[in-house]
Every structure is written in C-alpha cells, then in structure tokens.
Amino acid sequence: MDFEKLTHIMRTLALEAGDKIMEIYNSDDFEVKSKSDDSPVTIADEAADDLISAGLRAAFPDVTLITEEQAGSHSLKADSFLIVDPLDGTKEFINRRGDFTVNIAYVENGVPTRGVVYAPAKDRLFITGADGQSYEEVGPFEKDTIGTLNKISVSKPDNAGLLIVASKSHRDQATEDYINKYNVKDSKSAGSSLKFCLVATGEADLYPRVGRTMEWDTAAGHAVLSGAGGHVVRFDNHEPLTYGKDIYANPFFIAYAPGVELKTA
C-alpha cells in the first residue's frame, strides 16, 4: 500500500463527504428511514457512502472495501481491507447535535493502521499520517492541500483522578457501573468516533464501551488513537481488539491512554 496516496485520498474523500453531509444537515428537512436492524439511515448516509465508495474503488481497485451502507460487503473477507462508516452518529445528525463523523480506515492483518475521522459540524479533522503518527489538522480545510498538522498524543493519566468520556446516545447503567470502578476527576459524553479522538488528544484518559458496535464504527478512531500512543482492548480479557471478525461485529471494549490502571469487568 502506498500510504502517502492512501492518506491523501482518505482525507480528500472525508472532506468531500463532509460537505455533502452538511448540505443536507443544514437543509430544512430530510427523510429518516429504518434499516433491517431498526437503526436509522438518512439520505446523508447514502450520499456520503456513494461518494466515498466510488473514490476508494477508483483509487484502490484491488483492495477489499467494507462499508456500513452496503450489506453485500459485510460477507467479504480479506487480510487487509478498507472500511468505511460514511456517517457515524446518525442519531446525533438527526437531532442536529453535531457529534457525527466521517470514518475511513485501512486495516492490515487485523489491525487498523491508518484512518481519518472528520467531524464536519465541529470543524475537527484527525488523521493518521503516512508515517503512522496521528495528527489533528487545523482548518479551514482545503481539498487539495493539507494544512497545518499538529501532532497529537495521549495523556499521562493520573489514576487518582481520571478524565472519562462515554457515549452520548448509549450511556446506560452498565457503563456507569464500570466508570464507577475508577477515581474520576471529570466525565463527559460525546457522540460517534470522536470519543477515540478525545483520548488521542489527551482530552480524556479512558473510553469504555459496554454496548454493541461494528468495526466500521471504530476502525478509524482506533487507528487515530493508536497513532497517538493509545490502546484499544476487549472489555472481557483486555486483549487487543482485532478486526476482520465474523460479520464485522465488535465485542465490548476499552480505549485508553497507557498508564490507566484498567479494572476488570
């Protein structure tokens, strides 16, 4: 894989998809439909998926592409693959809360090694560079020219007072029970893959997810966090979270900065 080309293509497609999403987000109204699993989908999800999929297939025709909005891709298997959630945080989008992202990632032998997370309503863009290091780009964002890249890295956590981030739409009692095992200085909620990015930038130390996710929800954020020095492990045994699993479904997991003294479930 040409990582310079990959980084450029993923970034450009994320920005273009973000423009399309915001055009719909700022319209007077948009239709909300339900998928077979009763999760919501909008024209923004579909338009962004069309744009990203076409761009990736044109640039990398020999690389397997897995994308949330194309159910036929969910049965594909490959050692290395591209994986896309064109609009992560659809509920945030529908409720116009802003915490939604465009996620594009590349997985090698079960490990997300490159990714881009773009939050168009918040003007934040996180990317794993060709060198494997993660950065936050400073806007305004130009399609053809990468702007100022600020290297990001995880915090040095203080276990006497941790900064916790958890799901905004799925923060249930099981999540609260697990968070309560720690000494917490501050706890915040965020939507979509932004939670990984907050750990990656040091704005949070720990993100536990005690709930269902799919690999397209997490791969890009996982790559960004890894490139900033963080880790993502399974909730049950604290082994690394891997990718390419059956139907691309994740177990519960914990994303964190090294130094956090992880608690058992």
Instruction: Identify whether 93 is part of a domain.
Output: yes
- The answer on whether 87 is annotated among ligand-binding residues is yes
Residues 125 and 189 in one domain: no
Residues 143 and 43 in one domain: yes
Cα gap 198→200, rounded to integer Å: 5
Predicted TM-score of the model (pTM): 0.95
Range 129-151 average pLDDT: 94
Whether 30 shows a pLDDT value over 90: the answer reads no
Cα gap 113→246, rounded to integer Å: 20
What pLDDT, on the 0 to 100 scale, is given for residue 90? Answer: 82
Residues 36 and 133 in one domain: yes
Residues 96 and 206 in one domain: no
Instruction: Identify whether 113 is part of a domain.
Output: yes
Domain that holds residue 126: 3-151
Q: To the nearest 10°, report the CA torsion of 246, 115, 97, 214.
A: 0
Residues 129 and 205 in one domain: no
Tell me, what DSSP letter sits at residue 180? Answer: T
Range 178-198 average pLDDT: 93
End residue of a domain, out of 151, 172, 191:
151
According to DSSP, the β-strands at 253-256 and 231-234 are antiparallel
Instruction: Identify whether 240 is part of a domain.
Output: yes
DSSP-based helix, strand, coil % in the chain, nearest 5: 30, 30, 40
- The answer on whether 68 is annotated among ligand-binding residues is yes
- The answer on whether 217 is annotated among ligand-binding residues is yes
Q: What is the mean pLDDT of the chain?
A: 93
Instruction: Identify whether 241 is part of a domain.
Output: yes
Task: Give me the helices (H) in 163-203, please.
Answer: 173-179, 194-200
Q: Closest Cα to residue 10, out of 88, 158, 153, 117?
A: 117
Instruction: Identify whether 261 is part of a domain.
Output: no
**Count of domains for the chain:** 2
- The answer on whether 172 is annotated among ligand-binding residues is no
Q: What is the CATH number of the domain that holds 99?
A: 3.30.540.10
